[in-house]
C-alpha cells in the first residue's frame, strides 16, 4: 500500500513559534507513530514492512512550516484492513492520509524442478486479473541491489535465465497437452 501523508499548519516567524503551528512537527509525530504500528507476518511470506520513502515541507529555515508531506510504502503479507485502521488512527487530527495504491500480496505458481523463493517486492501481475492464466514471476538479478548504485544483472545470470525460460516453456507445453 502506498500513502501520501499531508500535514497542514500555520506559518509564523521562527523566533515566535507560539504564533504558528508547525506542519513538520505534526508530520514527524505521525510518522514516528506509524513506525511503531504492529504489522502482520505470514509463515511463508515473512514479515510486512513499512518504509517512509520521502519527506518534504516548509518554506525556509526561519519560517514555521505551514505544510509538510511524506510518502509511505507498506508491503503487506496479508489482509490490509487492520493496518489501514492503524494508519488512520496514527494521523487522526494531525494529518491527512491519502491512499494512492494498493496491490495485494501474491502467492504465485511453481514448476517441478525449478527452485522458488519468497521476495518482497511489487509486481504488475494483479493488474492482469488472471486473464493470462497461471502467473509465474521469474527473472535474473538480485532484489538486494535493486534501486541502488550497485543495481546490475550479471551476464551469467542472463544466460541462465534463458535456459530456465526454455525449460519452463517445455514444462508448460507438456502440462497443456495433457
User: Are 17 and 48 found together in one domain?
Assistant: yes
Q: How many CB atoms lie within 10 A of CB 145?
A: 12
Question: What pLDDT sits at residue 18?
Answer: 97
User: Are 110 and 162 found together in one domain?
Assistant: yes
Question: What pLDDT sits at residue 80?
Answer: 95
CB distance 88 to 34 below 8 Å: no
Number of structural domains (the chain) is 2
Question: What pLDDT sits at residue 142?
Answer: 86
CB distance 3 to 87 below 8 Å: yes
User: Are 77 and 125 found together in one domain?
Assistant: no
pTM of the model: 0.82
pLDDT at 178 over 80: no
DSSP string across the chain: -EEEEEEE-B--BTT-GGGSB-HHHHHHHHHHHHHTS---EETTTEE-EEEEEEEEE-S-TTB--SEEEEEEEEE-SS-SHHHHHHHHHHHTTT-EEEEEE----------TT----------SGGGGTTTTSS-----SS-GGGTTSTT----HHHHHHHHHHHHHHHHHHHHHHH-
Question: 42-71, pLDDT tens digit by residue?
Answer: 999 999 999 999 999 999 999 999 999 999
Q: Which of 97, 141, 98 is nearest to 121 (CA)?
A: 141
**Last residue of some domain: 47, 74, 105?**
105
**Last residue of some domain: 50, 76, 105?**
105
**Last residue of some domain: 56, 81, 105?**
105
User: Are 87 and 167 found together in one domain?
Assistant: no
Longest dimension (CA), the chain: 78
Question: 114-158, pLDDT tens digit by residue?
Answer: 888 888 888 888 888 888 888 888 888 888 898 899 999 999 999
User: Are 10 and 79 found together in one domain?
Assistant: yes
Range of the domain at 133: 106-178
CB distance 8 to 57 below 8 Å: no
User: Are 72 and 118 found together in one domain?
Assistant: no
User: Are 91 and 28 found together in one domain?
Assistant: yes
Amino acid at each position: 500500500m502506498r500513502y501520501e501523508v499531508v500535514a497542514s499548519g500555520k506559518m509564523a516567524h521562527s523566533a515566535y513559534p507560539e504564533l504558528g503551528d508547525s506542519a513538520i512537527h505534526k508530520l514527524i509525530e505521525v510518522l514516528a507513530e506509524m513506525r511503531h504500528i504492529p504489522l502482520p507476518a505470514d509463515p511463508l511470506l515473512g514479515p510486512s514492512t513499512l518504509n517512509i520513502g520521502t519527506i518534504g515541507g516548509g518554506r525556509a529555515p526561519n519560517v514555521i512550516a505551514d505544510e509538510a508531506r511524506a510518502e509511505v510504502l507498506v508491503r503487506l503479507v496479508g489482509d490490509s484492513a487492520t493496518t489501514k485502521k492503524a494508519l488512520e488512527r496514527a494521523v487522526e487530527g494531525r494529518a491527512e492520509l491519502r491512499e494512492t495504491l494498493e496491490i495485494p500480496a501474491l502467492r504465485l505458481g511453481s514448476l517441478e524442478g525449478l527452485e522458488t523463493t519468497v521476495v518482497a517486492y511489487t509486481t504488475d501481475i494483479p493488474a492482469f486479473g488472471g486473464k493470462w492464466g497461471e502467473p509465474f514471476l521469474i527473472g535474473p538479478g538480485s532484489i538486494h541491489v535493486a534501486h541502488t548504485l550497485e543495481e546490475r544483472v550479471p551476464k551469467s545470470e542472463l544466460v541462465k535465465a534463458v535456459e530456465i525460460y526454455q525449460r519452463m516453456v517445455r514444462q508448460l507445453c507438456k502440462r497443456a497437452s495433457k
